[in-house]
Homo-oligomer: A and B are copies of this chain.
Amino acid sequence: MQVPSPSMREAASMYGTAVAVFLVILVAALQSSAPPESPFPYRISLDPEGSLELSWNISYTQETVYFQLLVQELKAGVLFGMSDRGELENADLVVLWTDGDNAYCGDAWSDQWGQIHLDSQQDYQLLQAQRTPEGLCLLFKRPFDTCDPKDYLIEDGTVHLVYGILEEPFGSLEAINTSALQTGLQRVQLLKPNISVPALPSDMHSMEIHTPDILIPSQKTTYWCYITELPDGFSRHHIVMYEPIVTKGNEALVHHMEVFQCTAQFESFPQFSGPCDSKMKPDHLNYCRHVLAAWALGAKAFYYPEEAGLAFGGPGSSRYLRLEVHYHNPLKIQGRRDSSGIRLHYTATLRRFDAGIMELGLVYTPVMAIPPQETAFVLTGYCTDKCTQLALPPSGIHIFASQLHTHLTGRKVVTMLARDGREREVVNRDDHYSPHFQEIRMLKKIVSVHPGDVLITSCTYNTGDRKLATVGGFGILEEMCVNYVHYYPQTQLELCKSAVDPGFLQKYFHLVNRFNEEEVCTCPQASVPKQFASVPWNSFSRDVLRALYGFAPISMHCNKSSAVRFQGEWNRQPLPEIISKLEEPTPRCPASRVQSPTRPTVVSIGGSKS
């Protein structure tokens, strides 16, 4: 694709010389410890052109990830690694480079200026480097936790992978600065749950919901909307599995896809296939919001647990479906046709339980706001004991999957289950959450929620680039804090969310006014967003807002459907009290004190007795 400059040609040729001796190295380690079955079940393209392909597998017993990086057209080297949010600075890297004579591979890291340094502890362990017909294939492994407090810790949830292409030789690793390279990032859930595939029914059918051979727009971001419909008279079925269909060659462009069912309140929906923000788009499409299936880059097939399925079809449900495909085309590639979508596998033999989707977190209301210039402001939404007591069956519900959701400033999301005032279990946590990567994730372990339990969803926001407060709401510049949990058996409870009591927020505006001796509009006709916009943000107004959210009573939405509340008093509810936090998991690193003790020294007491 690119014509190398003379110096690059030279470099590539020198490098070619260096790699001329074909020698399989270091395979012993691999042969003894690689996981047995399908060696690399997960695969993604790192770059938009698909020239860097990463496959991986996880050994949970070894707490190690095995990577296979296929470099299609090797120039003078490549770097791969992980960082907190996909930046090339402060990244943990493995680098393959040449000085023109030899090729080297090493575990490295980049400092805050993007400068690369060799790591003294080599945690990316190279197992094999091999030429294949497809390109150079590098095989290496990396423990989840290298026990170096400065190294990247591979955790559940999103991992930001980074890569860089070396186009010329470098005299040393230290001569490389990532800011001068062609680099990029890719988000994946590296630690896929290790759950066995549930048995599928013998009478399973499938249906493909895919775009009708469209031309991918040559723009960076496109959300494509396509309306399709279920066959006439399609009876009630259970979706038991779905999987992505990605048109071959477009793997690097298809970012995520969702299938929504439209509301039954309209008899029919118009045909449509085009960008979701098109002016031609029928307004009705906003009524197609009930999620049937969701896929994002790096995700594989989604299986419902054997005892449950997602109901669709039949009386009382709409025949109309909306497919939404997010194309991410940063290189603005032109002329690419696409028929990607999702294949739904369903059965007419209904399973024991209907699966349901419940919304946890914060109500979409401006009373929950984040001051500007905060790097890690936390908002928390509650599903209270009172609501679960009323709405959940005595035997409880079982959450098996979760999709976290915020708008642009979200950085972390976690939902915690508490019982009797004690944190018991993490439902789902993503400490490297990105609003650009929202997939439905299977939980490693099903979480059972019983009547009287509390579900606490906390989102951490970064408003470092905002000038005004960011309030809660539907707008892309407003914020949300939501965890869509997938569970069974389905209940009437669709929404269990909270927000601060509006009266207490007004007391806040009053005291901010009083303390700052400035004009904060507390007049009843001013909207809450306007009131927040006029708050003078200083340490006191920030701290007190944080204290307010940690203290003031809440208004609960304990709803059957988006409008109908369960019966009861839901305003001015006390904040759930947490008397004990969940303990941090025991460290996986060798801390002297937790290892088995060594032998004591036997002492012979010497000297002269007086």
Stretch at the interface among A115-123, A201-209, A223-231, A409-417: A115-123
* Residue from B118, B131, B151, B593 in contact with A597 in the complex, judged by beta carbons closer than 8 Å: B118
Please tell me if A28 contacts chain B, counting CB pairs below 8 Å.
no
Chain B nearest Cβ from A105, distance in angstroms: 4
Quick one: given A514-B507, A548-B540, A551-B539, are A605 and B130 in contact (CB under 8 Å)? Answer: yes
In the complex, which residues of chain B have a beta carbon less than 8 angstroms from the beta carbon of A149?
Answer: 591
Q: Whole-angstrom distance between the alpha carbons of A610 and B130 in the complex?
A: 12
In the complex, which residues of chain B have a beta carbon less than 8 angstroms from the beta carbon of A543?
Answer: 543-544, 546-547, 550-551
Asked whether A151 lies within 8 Å of B104 as measured between CB atoms, the reply is no
Please tell me if A2 contacts chain B, counting CB pairs below 8 Å.
no
Chain A 79-136 interface residues, beta-carbon cutoff 8 Å to B: 96, 102-106, 109, 117-122, 126, 128-133, 136
Asked whether A106 lies within 8 Å of B601 as measured between CB atoms, the reply is yes
Quick one: given A148-B592, A551-B538, A607-B24, are A601 and B131 in contact (CB under 8 Å)? Answer: no
Please tell me if A600 contacts chain B, counting CB pairs below 8 Å.
yes
Quick one: given A119-B597, A539-B547, A592-B120, are A606 and B130 in contact (CB under 8 Å)? Answer: yes
Q: What string of 1s and 0s marks CB contacts (under 8 Å) between A304-332 and chain B? A: 00000000000000000000000000000
Asked whether B105 lies within 8 Å of A601 as measured between CB atoms, the reply is yes
In the complex, which residues of chain B have a beta carbon less than 8 angstroms from the beta carbon of A173?
Answer: 600
Q: Whole-angstrom distance between the alpha carbons of A449 and B546 in the complex?
A: 37
Chain A 516-538 interface residues, beta-carbon cutoff 8 Å to B: 538
Asked whether B602 lies within 8 Å of A131 as measured between CB atoms, the reply is no
Chain A 370-401 interface residues, beta-carbon cutoff 8 Å to B: none
Q: Whole-angstrom distance between the alpha carbons of A600 and B608 in the complex?
A: 55
In the complex, which residues of chain B have a beta carbon less than 8 angstroms from the beta carbon of A539?
Answer: 547, 550-551
Asked whether A602 lies within 8 Å of B547 as measured between CB atoms, the reply is no
Chain B nearest Cβ from A436, distance in angstroms: 29
Asked whether A593 lies within 8 Å of B109 as measured between CB atoms, the reply is yes
Chain B nearest Cβ from A599, distance in angstroms: 8
Please tell me if A23 contacts chain B, counting CB pairs below 8 Å.
yes
Chain B nearest Cβ from A210, distance in angstroms: 34
In the complex, which residues of chain B have a beta carbon less than 8 angstroms from the beta carbon of A148?
Answer: 591-593
Chain B nearest Cβ from A417, distance in angstroms: 22
Asked whether B598 lies within 8 Å of A120 as measured between CB atoms, the reply is yes
**Chain A interface size range:** 35 or more
Task: Find the B residue at minimum CB distance from A147.
Answer: B592
Please tell me if A515 contacts chain B, counting CB pairs below 8 Å.
yes
Asked whether A603 lies within 8 Å of B126 as measured between CB atoms, the reply is yes
Please tell me if A246 contacts chain B, counting CB pairs below 8 Å.
no
In the complex, which residues of chain B have a beta carbon less than 8 angstroms from the beta carbon of A130?
Answer: 605-607
Q: Whole-angstrom distance between the alpha carbons of A350 and B430 in the complex?
A: 69
Asked whether A106 lies within 8 Å of B600 as measured between CB atoms, the reply is yes
Q: Whole-angstrom distance between the alpha carbons of A126 and B137 in the complex?
A: 53
Please tell me if A21 contacts chain B, counting CB pairs below 8 Å.
yes
Quick one: given A551-B538, A591-B150, A597-B120, are A131 and B606 in contact (CB under 8 Å)? Answer: yes
Please tell me if A266 contacts chain B, counting CB pairs below 8 Å.
no
Please tell me if A348 contacts chain B, counting CB pairs below 8 Å.
no
Asked whether B608 lies within 8 Å of A131 as measured between CB atoms, the reply is yes
Chain B nearest Cβ from A590, distance in angstroms: 9
Q: Whole-angstrom distance between the alpha carbons of A538 and B504 in the complex?
A: 15
Chain B nearest Cβ from A576, distance in angstroms: 13
Q: Whole-angstrom distance between the alpha carbons of A22 and B130 in the complex?
A: 65
Please tell me if A511 contacts chain B, counting CB pairs below 8 Å.
yes
Asked whether B606 lies within 8 Å of A129 as measured between CB atoms, the reply is yes
Q: Whole-angstrom distance between the alpha carbons of A538 and B574 in the complex?
A: 13
Asked whether A608 lies within 8 Å of B544 as measured between CB atoms, the reply is no
Asked whether B102 lies within 8 Å of A602 as measured between CB atoms, the reply is yes
Q: What string of 1s and 0s marks CB contacts (under 8 Å) between A32-67 and chain B? A: 000000000000000000000000000000000000
In the complex, which residues of chain B have a beta carbon less than 8 angstroms from the beta carbon of A607?
Answer: 22, 24, 129-132, 137
Most buried by B among A121, A173, A504: A121
Q: What string of 1s and 0s marks CB contacts (under 8 Å) between A190-202 and chain B? A: 0000000000000
Chain B nearest Cβ from A125, distance in angstroms: 9
Please tell me if A567 contacts chain B, counting CB pairs below 8 Å.
no
In the complex, which residues of chain B have a beta carbon less than 8 angstroms from the beta carbon of A136?
Answer: 605
Q: What string of 1s and 0s marks CB contacts (under 8 Å) between A479-497 and chain B? A: 0000000000000000000
Chain B nearest Cβ from A11, distance in angstroms: 15
In the complex, which residues of chain B have a beta carbon less than 8 angstroms from the beta carbon of A592?
Answer: 119-121, 146, 148, 150-151
Q: Whole-angstrom distance between the alpha carbons of A137 and B607 in the complex?
A: 9
Please tell me if A30 contacts chain B, counting CB pairs below 8 Å.
no
Chain B nearest Cβ from A516, distance in angstroms: 10
Q: What string of 1s and 0s marks CB contacts (under 8 Å) between A578-608 and chain B? A: 0000000000000111011110111111111
Q: Whole-angstrom distance between the alpha carbons of A442 and B602 in the complex?
A: 41
Chain B nearest Cβ from A597, distance in angstroms: 4
> Which A residues form the contact surface with B (CB < 8 A)?
19, 21-25, 96, 102-106, 109, 117-122, 126, 128-133, 136-137, 146, 148-151, 173, 504, 507, 510-511, 514-515, 538-540, 543-544, 546-548, 550-552, 591-593, 595-598, 600-610
3 smallest CB-CB distances across A and B, nearest first, come from A130-B607, A543-B547, A106-B600
17 A–B contact pairs at CB < 8 A? A19-B604, A22-B605, A24-B606, A24-B607, A103-B602, A103-B603, A117-B597, A118-B598, A119-B597, A122-B601, A149-B591, A511-B511, A540-B550, A540-B551, A540-B552, A543-B546, A543-B550
